[in-house]
Amino acid sequence: MSLMMDILENLAPLNRLPCAQDYDRAVDYLRNLLTFNVIDFDAAEEYNGWVIPPKCTVLEAKILKDGRLIYDGLWHPLAVIALSAAFQGRVSLAELKQHLHYDSRYRDSLTFHFRQQFRSWSRDWGFCVSRDLYDSLTEGEYEVTIRTEEEPGVMRVLEYTHPGRLGETMAIYANLDHPGVANDGISGVAVGVELMKRLAEKKTKYTYRLVLAPGIVGAEYYLGRKQPAERDSFLECLCLWMLGSRTQLALQESRDAQSNLERALEDALRAAGTPHRRGAFESIVINDEYVWEAYGIPACSLSRMPYPEYHSSRDSMAIMREESLSEAVDVVENAIDTLEKTLLVRRKFTGTICLSNPRYDLYVDPGQIAFGESITNERKRLRLLMDTLPTLTRPITTRALANRVDLPEEPVVEYLQKWADKGLIELL
């Protein structure tokens, strides 16, 4: 069995709610694979209105009728709603059904009731059951017990850094939470760990950092609590979601669709002939990407969304495919190889430069039709490149620039070298 499948076998069954005992078990397991740095955020650290939920362990969760066990909520991590409040009492069928949640897509599976993770100040009790069980319940009185043990939560974020020659850091991000499921969250973790194992054998130009955190709130605390200088070292982010299913790979663009990572991923997918689709920001999946973007870090994602088992108990090892995981990690590794081979452009000036000044002599005149001059496509594209350079807000690769202005990379590099010779940019 491969390392990635082994990670899934060990971590998928765990009840990996943020701050939960099983989440900590997942952290301990992963620290035996890579030398992760663990960052702890405790319950007192409210940030931007986000609140770290308590550590809540369900000790007992049962529904009985006439002394007969109808449902045991400990049979699956999804069977009790996330952060359920404790409850003990007798209820009518009508009241019970107000606290039962089922998956409207399937009659025999559980849904993931997750919203209380993000609203821990307002919690109800409840179970997730199959539609078949829900429909089978008859009139009468039911005895319900949900017994929990709680303490202040500590949210843990893992980061592993592969140092490169440059300070610019490419973040590789995945979610470590999502209780009892395989594809959602942990498959991205598995691909990220395997990727870092492969990078360990290479000397790289960029620094690469694998970040594993609970969804949304983990990214917010991680980025919000970073020192500005360290946060600014992140050039871009690649989010890895749901990569173990049979479904086709999907590349979701960053908000401005101009990141170096997404362009390199597209090149890698096409070069390998890998079937895939590409979509605009938040058109395929809405997840932690928007948190990274809120901190000025372009974030694209690679996933296999949508897949039928999403947010249900059907998301299990039964739908995981080693070949799907391998295909994903190969694509990301090949994209990184592309990034490493192309030059990085760093702007060293502000404003605009009088490029026709003999001191620079970098002005590209595409020609004037009114003067009877011929205007070639290459000159028009080089002029576009010339006008693009003063507007760059972040370092960019020569390949990405070439794609942006629709020119081969060779003439782009040749022109950029002249800017570098004048001290206006760095080519790294």
CATH of the domain at 164: 3.40.630.10
Helix residue ranges, H only, 273-370 = 289-294, 322-341
Assess whether pLDDT exceeds 80 at residue 374: no
Give the DSSP per-residue string, 269-288: HHHHT--EEEE-TTSS--ST
pLDDT (tens digit per residue) in 392-421: 999 999 999 999 999 999 999 999 999 999
Domain of residue 373 covers: 344-427
pTM: 0.95
**Span 73-106, pLDDT tens digits:** 999 999 999 999 999 999 999 999 999 999 999 9
- 63 lies in the same domain as 108: yes
* Domain edge (last residue) among 131, 151, 171: 151
Domain count, the chain: 3
Do 33 and 167 belong to one domain?
Answer: yes
* Same domain assignment for residues 189 and 213: yes
Contacts 24+ apart (CB under 8 A), 380-388: 381/405, 381/406, 381/407, 382/407, 382/411, 382/415, 385/412, 385/415, 386/355, 386/362, 386/415
Q: What is the pLDDT of residue 351?
A: 96
How far is Cα 7 from Cα 4, in angstroms, rounded to an integer? 5
Instruction: State the Cα–Cα distance between residues 91 and 283, nearest whole angstrom.
Output: 43
Q: How high is the pLDDT of residue 365?
A: 84
pLDDT at 303: 98
Beta strand 344-347 with 299-303 is: unpaired
Q: How far apart are the first and last CA of the chain?
A: 40
- Hey, what are 13's tokens? 């069954």
Do 309 and 169 sit in the same domain of this protein? Answer: yes
Cis previous bond, 298, omega within 30: no
29 and 99 co-located in one domain: no
Backbone conformation region of residue 89, classed left if phi is above 0, alpha if psi is from -120 to 50, else beta: left
- The pair of structure tokens assigned to 103 is 């998956």
Residue 371: what pLDDT? 54
Banded model confidence at residue 187, pLDDT cuts 50, 70, 90? very high
Q: Examine the domain organization and report whether 219 and 328 are in the same domain.
A: yes
Are 8 and 37 contained in the same domain?
yes
Which residue type occupies 361?
D
Q: Are 176 and 213 in contact (CB under 8 A)?
A: yes
Looking at 341, 361, 379, the residue that finishes a domain is 341
Does 79 share its domain with 186?
no
Same domain, 7 and 135: no
Same domain, 42 and 61: no
pLDDT tens digits for 55-80? 999 999 999 999 999 999 999 999 99
Q: Which of 18-27, 174-183, 220-229, 359-368 has the lowest mean pLDDT?
A: 359-368
Question: Are both 364 and 377 inside the same structural domain?
Answer: yes
Tell me the average pLDDT of the chain: 95
Same domain, 285 and 383: no
**Element (DSSP H or E) covering residue 131:** helix 131-136
Domain endpoint, select from 284, 307, 341: 341
> What is the amino acid identity at position 94?
A
